Structure 1
């Protein structure tokens, strides 16, 4: 045991922040607040083999949406498409409206609709789609972890993380 009682800091597992509310993963299997963007993977409503990689930049609200094979979304011309709307809704379920609004630098934080309306009122520009590849790659990596058997043993690929405390 450590002086402040934080045993988890010396383990190979990190604390997981529970979602604000439970959400269904079928429509938006992956959503994150990272790299200065709200970004995620959204399932296609018409083709089971297609997903969309969507993102919204912090402050500028510049957005991008494209398929997993890097074709532009047909609905993201000048305004948010339905994939981006679904991603915002699921991010609010996952992280809570306050956290999403704070991360994106949006004043309105009541719910997903208020956040979306505040961003669209600024007339955001369409962004560079170069973020799609790393986001989709992270999503695939997360899927790989789901296929691993449940264990408390360390994962060799995660052992490069530096230890912050010596084990006594």
Structure 2
């Protein structure tokens, strides 16, 4: 059971540095993976769901239509590299390296050194279990962005039944 499943709240951490959402609109460290959604450079209607598993660095990259990325053969594709870069902006290089269990080889970790240190281990392709879940989370986040600002509670965010006042 993950920490998220044991907790009734999700801890929100301020970004390490501001980032642009056009290239990588969704990135998270969850379920033992760095995972997220990366925009296609050639088609505005296509996105890629990319992930890297902590410890083994097994990776996956496929389109929102579940077609494999052509660049993810034998190593990290540009989508996974962009995901790592944005994760470092969002969470900081130390936290990303620690989460992925990357042993830094030289100096302070950065997006480049984290990527290089994982790439040097010859990660295996094939961790495709996360794609549907990650894309579903991304779509749920998009739906919240379309809501008008309000202070009224959202029914789907109320996890506990109402309690009666004791008289």
Specify the TM-score bucket, using the shorter chain as the normaliser.
0.7 to 0.9
Matched residue, 2:4:
none
Q: Please provide the CA RMSD for this pair.
A: 1.9
Runs of 4+ in 1 over 4 A off after TM superposition: 12-15
Cα distance between partner residues in 1 of 2:103 and 2:134 = 26
Matched residue, 1:139:
138
TM-score by length of 1: 0.86
Structure 2 gaps, min length 5: 1-7, 163-167
Structure 1 gaps, min length 5: 1-11, 164-168
TM-score by length of 2: 0.86
1:62 aligns with 2:58: yes
1:76 aligns with 2:72: yes
User: 1:127 Cα shift?
Assistant: 2.0
1:92 aligns with 2:91: no
Matched residue, 1:28:
24
User: 1:13 Cα shift?
Assistant: 8.4
Cα distance between partner residues in 1 of 2:11 and 2:57 = 30
Secondary structure of 1:66's counterpart equals strand
Secondary structure of 1:40's counterpart equals strand
Count of paired positions: 152
Cα distance between partner residues in 2 of 1:123 and 1:162 = 49
CA contact (8 A) 2:53 2:127 kept: no
Cα distance between partner residues in 2 of 1:43 and 1:130 = 20
CA deviations 1:13-45 (Å, max 9, x no partner) are 866321000000000000000010000000000
